[in-house]
Structure 1
Amino acid sequence: MRAFRGAGATHSVRCMDSDTPAPDPAPDPGAAPGADAFIRALPKVELHVHLEGSMQPETLFALARKHRVDGIPATLADLRSWYTFRDFPHFVEVYLASVQVLREESDFALLTADVAERLAAQRVRYAEVHVSLYGHLMRGIPAHVVWAGLEHGRRAAERDHGIRLRWIPDFPGDYGLDAAESTLDSVLAARPDSVLGFGVGGMEVDLTPFAGVFGRAVADGLHSLPHAGESTTADQVWSAVRALRAERIGHGIRSVADPRLMAHLRETQLPVDVSITSNLRTRSVARAAEHPLPHMLAAGLLVTLNTDDPPMFGTDLTNEYRTAHRLGLDLGALAQLARNGVAASFLDARGKREITAEIDAVLAAHTT
């Protein structure tokens, strides 16, 4: 992840050098009719998705017009074309523009409602959503404005679509300890009960300096949910495990290079949240055939399947399951991925039982 500044704001997104060739397209989302029907019917959870990176062109267009934000195409048709991922600098451009339109409580509520509705349409029953709180604080948006909007949208989504959302505020690690401390201070000062964790993204750096901050977060009842080991080395994952007492690893695909780490992840069943298309789009993995997901599952790791920044990478959770199927996972393995997501979540025990039972029923209906 790279933290970067633009138009007076601070944000964090993944980076590849500007002269790096564009990544191979994501795998063909097509699937055999039976598999596709199963994937569409499968109940799901989403554990690694960024709220700001989930903004659809229509939402961006509406908010840009509301706030008269410059630098955004003047028609929805042009904006949809502009929104299509071309290369990484273009992704940065779109991401910056998207975040700039979030200014008022109602903006955050609108975005949350839209994201929740789209997740629910894919039979996502529960989602733990990363919120780039530090980026909003640095733009001068008070934390209480962010939380008020998110909570309004969350409650409406639960009422209207039956989906449950929980929040993971985070900060970019490459902005250092001050960013970590100020973000956590804002969270602890006035967080809603729906905030369940604390995270770190940004460029991958040694996480040891943040041990004290995460210690404070955990002591106050927040789960430790860092990004680690996407574009650097397995050492980053060890850093998350040892320094931050990570309870889930965001991305973690570099773990496959370290047999000792793989053994640790298998023995502890420490969950690893994988996002296939994101890894391809950012060149963290060069080609779909090289993605380590099948190897991680075969090694006995507790792997979950997620989207990261879905519209900006041209995907959604249904497409990620189709992509996993094309990597060789049969219906039983896809169902196990869905169960893994439930198991790795912080949903209550009753909720876990209900969604797992739904998954099992759908698998039985499509394999008998």
Structure 2
Amino acid sequence: MTDIAPGAGPATGGGMTEFVAGLPKAELHVHHVGSASPRIVAELAARHPDSAVPADPAALADYFSFRDFAHFIQVYLSVVDLIRDADDVRLLTFEVARDMARQNIRYAELTVTPFSSVRRGIPDQAFMEAIEDARKSAEAELGVTLRWCFDIPGEAGLTSAEETLRLALKLRPEGLVSFGLGGPEIGVPRPQFKPYFDQARAAGLHSVPHAGETTGPQTIWDALGDLGAERIGHGTSAAQDPRLLDHLAEHRIPLEVCPTSNIATRAVATLEEHPIRQMVDAGVLVTVNSDDPPMFGTDLNTEYAVAARLLGLDTAGVAALAKDAVAVSFQDDAGKARLAAEIDAYTAAWRSA
């Protein structure tokens, strides 16, 4: 892994913004429906005027103002309800990739919750064909490589776990690389999902559950011990347990950190209080991600700029952060090597200029 310790001093203002905008990047924690920009949501809402979601992009900023995590889930599910047929799925997926291409995101592991769409009546095979068609088109037309993480919506219980596993294993799309667990953590203990993660891992899928976002460190320990987590989604509360930080650092288990998301959902009070610096100082490998970017008024470029400020990074440090995301992604070795080389070439050209 690369070293993201502070360099000669942080690049600030327009210089860092410009550097990050052009930097080739990978994103490892970003949700399918949660990536729908106001442009995409408005188009879907116009298709389905019976929805509570505004069809006016300007009104969505107020709609995406969250009181707490429970309210965020409520709003999120209302957007999920806009995805009603395979054409909606295809539109959403390709347009999300288009927004990624504008940020120079070259590779993304998109967290998809097929249970929610299939439960709403989209035939399972049609859903798989729609995301795969969009994935192939995104790579050919936009230069964005997408891979899927199928995640269990924890609030829907073990029925959703069983169905998500079935969809992952019986209809396994070519782009599927991992198995996850999202939704509320409070009242949704991780150990109950162990049998489903065991089967997914036995079938060759990677384990990437959310843990420690709105609950304490024990949820992260449970994700590691019971679900075999290879990366942890969020992991914010790890900073409360020095022994856990040591364990994550020793075993090189990355945290998928989403700073602005943590503020928007009230998991952390302010950016200044965000524990990302404590994580890095403890030797934990962190990746920076946007989670549900339009809903939180952010994007991956913004999150890199936030991380640069919180960690005191210069452009070399930010490039190293980007390479860490590539290194711990689930793309093949050739893909990792290409993207890492592209980051190095971009950084070298920036320095020489």
TM-score by length of 1: 0.87
Partner residue of 2:112? 131
Cα distance in structure 1, aligned partners of 2:51 and 2:18: 42
**Distance across 1 between alignment mates of 2:309 and 2:249:** 24
The match for 2:267 is 284
Q: Which residue of 1 aligns with 2:277?
A: 294
Which residue of structure 1 aligns with residue 5 of structure 2?
none
Q: Please state how far the C-alpha of 1:93 moved relative to its aligned partner.
A: 5.4
Letter in 2 for 1:347: Q
Partner of residue 334, structure 2 = 350
Cα shift at 1:274: 0.4
1:263-274 to structure 2, matched below 5 A, reads 263-274=246-257
Cα deviation for residue 206 of structure 1 reads 2.4
Q: How far did 1:213 drift?
A: 1.0
Moved more, 222-231 or 56-65: 56-65
Q: Aligned pairs, how many? A: 338
Residue of structure 1 aligned with 2:138, choices 151, 157, 168? 157
CA contact (8 A) 2:28 2:329 kept: yes
Structure 2 match to 1:35: 16
- The correspondence for 1:309, drawn from 265, 273, 292, is 292
Say if 2:220 is the partner of 1:220: no
Whether 1:259 aligns to 2:242 is yes
Residue 99 (structure 2) aligns with: 118
Q: Which residue of 2 aligns with 1:3?
A: none
Match of 2:316 among 319, 323, 332: 332
Q: Contact 1:61/1:79 (CA < 8 Å) preserved in 2?
A: no
Q: Deviations over 1:100-151 (max 9, x none)?
A: 1111111111101111011111111100000122222322323222211111
The one-letter amino acid paired with 1:199 is: G
Shift of 1:268: 0.9
- Residue 68 (structure 2) pairs with residue 85 (structure 1): no
Q: Which amino acid aligns with 1:85?
A: S
Partner of 1:67: 48
Query: Equivalents in 2 of 1:87, 1:70: separation in Å?
Result: 21
- 1:145 aligns with 126
Paired amino acid for 1:155: K
Counterparts of 1:237 and 1:130, CA distance in 2: 19
CA distance in 1, matches of 2:349, 2:32: 33
Q: Deviations over 1:228-253 (max 9, x none)?
A: 11111111111011101111110012
In 2, distance between residues paired with 1:333 and 1:50? Answer: 26
Name the aligned partner's letter for residue 254 of structure 1: S
Q: Once the two structures are aligned, what percentage of the paired residues are identical?
A: 46
1:276-331, Cα deviation, whole Å (9 max, x unpaired): 00001111111111111122122221110000000000000000011112212222
Q: How does 1:162-173 map to 2 (within 5 A)?
A: 162-173=143-154
SS in 2 for 1:129: strand
Give the alignment's TM-score, normalised by structure 2. Answer: 0.90
- Letter matched to residue 139 of structure 1: R
Report the Cα offset of residue 355 of structure 1. Answer: 1.0
Pick closer, same or farther for the CA change 1:77–1:280 going to 2, 3 Å: closer
Q: Residue 362 in 1 paired to residue 346 in 2?
A: yes
Residue 80 of structure 2 corresponds to 99
* Bigger shift: residues 291-300 or 121-130: 291-300
In structure 2, the residue matched to 1:211 is 194
* d(CA) in 2 for partners of 1:64, 1:174: 25
Q: Please, which moves more after superposition, 278-287 or 93-102?
A: 93-102
In 1, Cα distance between equivalents of 2:62 and 2:78: 11
Name the CA shift for 1:355/1:143 in 2 (closer, same or farther; >3 Å).
Answer: same
Look up the match of 1:234.
217
Structure 1: give runs of 5+ residues left out of the alignment. 1-29
How far apart are 1:83 and its partner, in Å? 4.2
Q: 1:12 — aligned with what?
A: none
Measured at CA, do residues 288 and 337 of structure 1 come closer, stay the same or move farther in structure 2, by a change above 3 Å? same
